[in-house]
Amino acid sequence: MKNKLKYYWNNKPLKTILVLAFVVRLIAVIFSQGYAFHDDHFLVVEAAQCWVEDQDWNNWMPKVQELRYPDEDPIPQGHSLFYPGVHYVLFSVMDFVGLHNPKAKMFLIRLLHALLSLIIVSLGYKITKHYTNEKYAKQAGLFLALLWFMPFMSVRNLVEYVSIPVLMLGLYQLIKAEGKTNLSKVYFFAGLLLGVAFSIRFQTLVIAGGAGLVLLFRKQWKETFLFGTGVLLAIAIIQGGIDLLVWKRPFAEFTEYVLYNLEHKSAYGHNLWYMYTTVLGGMILPPLGIFLFIGWFLTFKKYPLLFWPSFLFFMFHNYFPNKQERFIIPIIALFVIAGVIGWWSFMDKSKFWNKNKWIFKYSLVLFWILNFIALPIFSTTYSKQSRCEVMNYLGQQEDAKTILVEETIRSSTTMLPVFYAGKDLHFYTFDNDTANVVMKNTEVGEYPGHIAKLHTINAIKEKQWPTPQYIIFINEKSIEGRVSSMKEYFPNMKLAETIYPSYIDMLMRKITPSNNNQLMFVYRTND
């Protein structure tokens, strides 16, 4: 067995790496359920499923805005509709063939994303080998296949990660064409791919711009023109075309996105300027992350198509006040490839490192030990477990139609992923400041919209709205007092189910108290 593995590693390294990558991603497909951030569920999955049901819970569509807010002009919400639109098509096909179970749907979605992510591993190997040799390519391929967070991120619906395979496909076309002639179509095709990436994640336009500048400084005038034409054509067809269809004017969503982010540039997290340096260096566990960071910078002159697109993207996000860790994810593969090429090339030429190879050897051993501790944990993590499972539980209760969510220990209420219920649910949400009723359709109550603010539980009775069949108490803090208070309105309520967060959710909550992963107590109002 050992000899067979050695044979494949020496003779078919790419296939071996891809098999390893697929195996760990398949584990994530099976076990790593849920979602990582707000955006990878509510701005993609929830939105798409609502459209399949001829609804629009997010109020993105102009016709829905006209219905719910007749006195206001409809405005775009600043979201690219392309990637959610792909999920709309996928969910429509699933429903057409009779697949309605939410968990089964998400299993297929995770599997498709896992397969898509193999492009990152394959091209990481090929690009590294193209520029250097098989030794370096093996290292880059292994990192991209087995980094502790890669399988977990590979099965998420996060636009920052989903854009990577498309970006790499486009840049790979440019890299293969370097130094060759009569390849005009290749530059145009590369532009089309990077234009598609823009419609997945708007900020990747900086990466496309960086690649265009490399061609421009090389005085490849024709190639620059063809590449730029491809980028703009893809953007015009996809982004402009979708917005023209929905809003009757091109680039409506992108324009609103730019205006909104300029106005709220400091509203969602104003971190220190060097934040992304620590993120890149830390995601590739130290000390290896530090070595790769140095290697990345060492490629600026010899491998400009790797360095400058990723570096300009890095600097753009360093400059922009709104900083979140996930924003830097689109360049993680380029960072790894360039880091491996730059650092390994530096070591091979360095007298110090040639005399002290043991230092790096033990650093690499330490990295893999730490990585293989973290890899199985994150690859099997059910992220936001309690939020998904509470909806799955209510979806299985035939009488569950109207739900009251109580979270009076906070000034706002946790959004719950209704997708996992597999059916329409009406929500009253009651927090420390106010109570809101969230309707997934417009047939209940006097309001045409899906949110109407209340200030007491009595308001449900006063407005003659449906009595909730279930109450969800979020978080165990002061739970006895909160339940007692609610029993004044629903004296017959009984505990029906307790939903627990996953181990990692609880760990993240201890590390970062603001991480709102909670126990949930489901009470039935009528015993």
Q: Which of residues 418 and 2 earns the better pLDDT score?
A: 418
pLDDT tens digit string along 29-58?
Answer: 999 999 999 999 999 999 999 999 988 888
**Boundary (domain end) residue, out of 379, 409, 441:** 379
The predicted model gives 5-13 an average pLDDT of: 88
The predicted model gives 234-244 an average pLDDT of: 97
Based on the domain organization, do 227 and 103 belong to the same domain? yes
Using the structure block, give the residue that is written with the tokens 């392309």: 82
pLDDT tens digit string along 123-182?
Answer: 999 999 999 999 999 999 999 999 999 999 999 999 999 999 999 999 999 999 998 877
The predicted model gives 308-313 an average pLDDT of: 98
Q: How many CB atoms lie within 10 A of CB 89?
A: 12
C-alpha 51/C-alpha 476 separation (Å) is: 35
Based on the domain organization, do 342 and 477 belong to the same domain? no
pLDDT tens digit string along 255-309?
Answer: 999 999 888 777 666 667 788 988 888 888 888 999 999 999 999 999 999 999 9
Q: How far separated are the first and last CA of the chain, in Å rounded?
A: 61
pLDDT band at 442 (very low <50, low <70, confident <90, very high): very low
Q: Which of residues 78 and 513 earns the better pLDDT score?
A: 78
Based on the domain organization, do 440 and 461 belong to the same domain? yes
pLDDT tens digit string along 333-361?
Answer: 999 999 999 999 999 999 999 999 999 99
C-alpha 381/C-alpha 420 separation (Å) is: 17
Domain that includes residue 136, residue range:
2-379
Check pLDDT > 80 for residue 517.
Answer: no
pLDDT of residue 436: 64
Based on the domain organization, do 340 and 396 belong to the same domain? no
pLDDT of residue 437: 64
pLDDT band at 454 (very low <50, low <70, confident <90, very high): low
The predicted model gives 80-101 an average pLDDT of: 97
The number of domains in the chain is 2
Average the pLDDT over each of 55-59, 71-75, 441-445 and give the range with the smallest value: 441-445
pLDDT of residue 34: 96
Based on the domain organization, do 350 and 432 belong to the same domain? no
The predicted model gives 192-218 an average pLDDT of: 97
Based on the domain organization, do 241 and 295 belong to the same domain? yes
pLDDT tens digit string along 165-179?
Answer: 999 999 999 999 998
The predicted model gives 16-36 an average pLDDT of: 97
Based on the domain organization, do 395 and 349 belong to the same domain? no
pTM: 0.94
Based on the domain organization, do 303 and 395 belong to the same domain? no
Based on the domain organization, do 355 and 405 belong to the same domain? no
Structure tokens at 29: 């497909």
Based on the domain organization, do 270 and 414 belong to the same domain? no
C-alpha 191/C-alpha 195 separation (Å) is: 6
Q: What are the residues facing 495 on neighbouring strands?
A: 523
Based on the domain organization, do 369 and 408 belong to the same domain? no
Which residue blocks in 60-180 are alpha helix, DSSP H?
62-68, 82-96, 102-131, 134-146, 150-154, 159-177
**Boundary (domain end) residue, out of 332, 348, 379:** 379
pLDDT of residue 515: 64
Distance (Å) of CA 315 to CA 283, 311, 351, 433: 18, 6, 32, 40
**Boundary (domain end) residue, out of 340, 361, 379:** 379
Distance (Å) of CA 88 to CA 2, 102, 103, 425, 442: 46, 14, 16, 20, 21
Mean pLDDT across the chain? 91
Q: Which of residues 138 and 430 earns the better pLDDT score?
A: 138
pLDDT band at 447 (very low <50, low <70, confident <90, very high): very low
Based on the domain organization, do 342 and 430 belong to the same domain? no
